[in-house]
Structure 1
Amino acid sequence: MNKRVIIFLSVLFVPVLVLAGILCFTQRNNSSDNNIVINGSSKVVEGEDLRVVFVDFVENEDRYDLVAKVENPNELLGFSDFSYIFKVLDEQDELLLEKEGRSFILPKESKYLIELGISLDKKPKRVKLEIIPGIWQELKAYKTPSFIVLNQRYNIEDKRTVLSGLLQNNSLFSFAKVSVNAILLGSGNKVVGVNRTFAGQLLSGEERYIEFLWRGKLSEDVDIELKVEVNVFQSESYMNVYGEKVGYERDVKSKKK
């Protein structure tokens, strides 16, 4: 079985993977309202808008998975929290569904936005993505968490496809909130499957079995991207807090003034 596994960490810069067929993208710009707090003082900053690499949907039997890849071009600024809306359209460009979500993005990060198991009355034609930015935050002093996935297995069974492995935290720190996104890329780097699992708490040196399930048989010839995500902006993501952080609550208050 021809497959290649790539493991990405959410705190690392991930090279841009350009896929064919960018669909549509809009972004609200509220940068004039964006404040950050540095050493107790507030100042207005204007970061570059997030960039969208692609937006697409994947049919999974009678349901659909929505996926977009976005990148943050800013060296030091990111969002600890931002909103996005997938807008699913039919052949006549009529709106079938809006699906809202929230995520975070770190400086110089490239990441996937995923919404799974969407039920629709008719087959979609294309998808738009709208991003509603949050408050820019500066992230300077942080150490890169280190994860690896051991014993990776990609099996196509009679009625399902299974990807599994052992997620190992090789960092010096223990994390309270860890999730992993799986992206399957087929011919021409076309997305043929997306999924997500939550590992929860992961102590330093601990291993956790992770598994991704898809209904039906997916392609055997795929490249696999595993993206481990930890929101380093939020202190509750850690069981051991480290480094100098910009307080999210203080940023929210500064915006209201």
Structure 2
Amino acid sequence: MGNKQIQTSLAEPVPGWKIQLAYFYAKHKILIKRSAVFLLFFADIIIVFLLGSVFINYQTGAMKEQDVLNQLKLNLVNPEAISKNKPKSLVAGEVTSITNNNKHDYLATIKNNNSDWAVMELRYTFEVAGKSLEPRETFLLPNSEKQLMYFNSEIEGEATLKILGSRWQKIKDFSLLSHQDGIKVKKSVFQPMSSSSTAGQVAIMIVNETPYSFWEVGLSVVIYNHSLKPIGLDYIMINKLMSGEERKIEIGWQESLNESVRQVKVYPEVNLLSQDSIMEIEAGPGSPPGRE
């Protein structure tokens, strides 16, 4: 058999797209170079802009942080705003001393002139001759005054009232406090008696004009002489005063009174800051609510 010759070619055909690409490059070489230079220049501008923005933001943040640190050194508290949002101080009167049978009673008036602040808890004491008597606690309604009393002290001397502490509360609901003057004293007189055991009798007539019934009502009793100076003190608690009730109370006065009596004042008090002061009632149609 004869040998067959295999024909080979060293030059393979070039694809058409390569020829077109080479032709395009050769024709637009200058434009392509210029475009590349422009893109590089534009990219440089963007990079510089981004770096500048980062630097400016950093500087701005650093300046704001420094301003905050500087303001921390300043007193930014507005005293006027604080004074408008805190209660006025209580106003205390002078202490009156009443001596009887080597025992000493002390009386002081304290006022709360705030219309929307109440003293939920007031701790106080009387200091007599530099010594503190047993501390007492009470409450104080808005726009009210109270007679603070201490009975049968064996210490005599110059006396002052000392406030040990107070807990205030801003009042928003006046549904109960609108009746704080609803217990009226219709009568309060002193009737002298010719008896060795009692100096006389205090007759009191009170009426509950509020729509509520109360478990307890405190009555501070002060007897005044013709100069309207206190010469006798007492404090009693009456129970279960019903709404609309009128009650007569008689107090036998054991201590002797060395002066003639001109006036007897009675100061009722009910803790309207606590719902527990109100008796539960079964309200009928149209009746005011109690503590259901």
Query: Same fold per TM (> 0.5)?
Result: yes
Structure 1 counterpart of 2:116, one-letter code: L
Q: Is the 8 A contact 1:197 1:210 kept in 2?
A: no
Partner of 1:115: 150
2:178 is paired with a residue whose SS is: coil
1:239 is paired with a residue whose SS is: coil
Which of 111, 118, 139 is equivalent to 1:104?
139
1:236 is paired with a residue whose SS is: helix
Q: Distance in 1 between matches of 2:248 and 2:154?
A: 29
1:125 is paired with a residue whose SS is: coil
Partner of 1:225: 265
Is 1:138 matched up with 2:170?
Answer: yes
1:134 is paired with a residue whose SS is: strand
Which of 69, 73, 92 is equivalent to 1:52?
92
Quick one: higher RCO (CA 8 Å, sep 6+), 1 or 2?
A: 1
Structure with a larger share of its residues in helix: 2
Is 1:156 matched up with 2:192?
Answer: yes
Which of 98, 102, 118 is equivalent to 1:62?
102
Cα deviation, 1:127-173, whole Å, max 9, x if unaligned, reads 01111332211234132152234554411223423212233212211
2:166 is paired with a residue whose SS is: coil
Structure 1 counterpart of 2:152, one-letter code: G
More off after superposition, 157-166 vs 224-233? 157-166
Partner of 2:227: 188
Which of 196, 209, 216 is equivalent to 2:256?
216
Structure with a larger share of its residues in strand: 1
Q: Distance in 1 between matches of 2:158 and 2:117?
A: 31
Structure 2 counterpart of 1:238, one-letter code: I
Q: Percent identity?
A: 21
Cα deviation, 1:174-230, whole Å, max 9, x if unaligned, reads 011211111122243321111111012211122333233241135333222110001
Q: Distance in 1 between matches of 2:148 and 2:187?
A: 26
Q: Distance in 2 between matches of 1:77 and 1:240?
A: 27
Which of 207, 215, 237 is equivalent to 1:198?
237
Q: TM-score w.r.t. structure 2 length?
A: 0.59
Q: Is the 8 A contact 2:184 2:208 kept in 1?
A: yes
The alignment covers a number of residue pairs equal to 192
1:240, distance to aligned residue in structure 2 (A):
5.1
| Bigger radius of gyration | 2
Any gaps of 5 or more consecutive residues in structure 1?
A: 1-44, 244-257
What is the Cα-based RMSD across aligned positions, in Å? 2.5
Structure 1 counterpart of 2:184, one-letter code: I
Q: TM-score w.r.t. structure 1 length?
A: 0.67
